[in-house]
Amino acid sequence: MFPKRVASLQFSGIRKLFEAAPADAINLGLGEPDIQPPREIIEAFKNALDRGMNKYGPSAGIMELRKAIAENLKSYRRDVAAENIIVTVGATEGMRIACETILGEGDEALVPNPGFIIYGPDVALAGGKAIDYTLKLENGFCPDPDEIQSLITPRTKAIIVNSPSNPTGAVYSDAVIKAICDIATDHDIYILSDEVYHNFVYEGTHTSFARYHDDTIIVNSFSKSLAVTGWRIGYVATSKEIVEHLAKVQYYTLACPPTATQYAILEGMKIRKQFRAKMLAEFKARRDLAMAKLSKMPSFETPPVQGAFYVFPKYSQGLRSEDFAMTLLKAGVICAPGAAFGSLGEGHLRFSYANSRENISAALDIVREVAEKL
């Protein structure tokens, strides 16, 4: 018998679906930029290998990269230093060790529903209990601070937030962010803020929860911003005390993040602004195209979204999202069923626009045809 915390884990519904996809299907299920990383950082990676960066490094990551990340975060908080940063193996590992570090047995963490698939399992693996808060279409998929307030108990240790959001594409307003931070400050709880899409904001600017709440643990990554999902480099930014504990947990998990990759990412930090500008313009055009197409489908309700690279329409056909996604798959379009992101994702589909405009257009034409027939 395996322990419940492991036996109860399931592979995500998305993965199951992708495995059944025909080879020529158009993929609007992607959770990663479809483009390759900048040439310069591929060269930097090769150079790092040639320069002998093939050995263990420090558990919290190489100091040069920690310093560069801290420098970059000075716009959030002026007092941030390298000691506030730990380099992780993507946001996935960052979120995992953050949960293990701050949650005790039976502690509660509030998680978004619908929300990214790792939060509930991360809380459970740490021995905690995930309590859902709702993201409603009529609120533009933004959390309701009153609801968050009502869910807090003496066992609440953290609120997990994700803006820009996967799967909804919502970017929370400053007012909502501040209201949630005020609640966290009043109750002396952590905010665990997954900001992996911070570079994908099409209107306005990204606001970090760290701006308004001292006990914020930022979980971030280079996966999306430098289009290097396979390189597995991210970071956690928080207090020096928490970073020290995170480094211990990380040491016993993976010894250290990969050394050569960190030098390549360091190079990427020098050119990320130009790369981002190009990528953002293209993704904005794709977002506009997807929204224009979806707005012409009467059975789909698609609220405007400002970030990440997903749209999350609600459909009026009365079938389960997994069945709808499977029907689309057979017609040649891969998307993610809303139910994969929590019970409140049921009745929605997640389309990623990390694909060419041509493919987005062709795929959404197929979606319209299928939707009209159902």
Give the bridge partners for 81, in sequence order.
none
Q: Are strands 190-194 and 333-334 parallel, antiparallel or unpaired?
A: unpaired
> Is residue 250 within the footprint of ligand PLP (CB under 6 A)?
no
Scanning residues 115 to 144, which ones bind ligand PLP (CB under 6 A)?
A: 116
Q: Does 166 bind ligand PLP (CB under 6 A)?
A: yes
Least Å from the CB of residue 194 to ligand PLP: 5
Which of 250, 225, 234, 193 is closest to 76 using CA atoms? 193
Site membership for ligand PLP, residue 221 (CB under 6 A) = yes
Residue with Cβ nearer ligand PLP (218 or 371): 218
Q: In this structure, are residues 115 and 341 in contact, taking their beta carbons and an 8 Å threshold?
A: yes
Name 57's Cβ contacts closer than 8 Å, sequence gap at least 6: 256, 257, 259, 262
Contact call for residue 234 and ligand PLP (CB under 6 A): yes
Among the listed residues 59, 92, 168, 262, the single contact to ligand PLP using CB under 6 A: 92
Name which position in 139, 229, 253, 361 contacts ligand PLP (CB under 6 A). Answer: 229
In angstroms, what is the minimal distance from the CB of 95 to ligand PLP?
7
261 touches ligand PLP by CB under 6 A: no
Q: How is residue 242 written in tokens? A: 């928490």
Contacts by residues 119-127 (CB-CB < 8 Å, ≥ 24 positions apart): 119/95, 119/160, 119/162, 119/194, 120/342, 121/9, 122/95, 122/96, 123/99, 123/160, 124/5, 124/8, 124/9, 125/5, 125/6, 125/9, 125/96, 125/99, 125/100, 126/99, 126/100, 127/5, 127/103
CB of 91 to ligand PLP, least distance (A): 3
Q: Which residue's CB is nearer to ligand PLP, number 33 or number 371?
A: 33
Smallest gap from Cβ 176 to ligand PLP, in A, equals 17
- Binding residue for ligand PLP (CB under 6 A) from 13, 61, 90, 145? 90
Q: Does 195 bind ligand PLP (CB under 6 A)?
A: no
Question: Which chain residues interact with ligand PLP by CB under 6 A?
Answer: 31, 90-92, 116, 162, 166, 194, 196, 221, 223, 229, 234
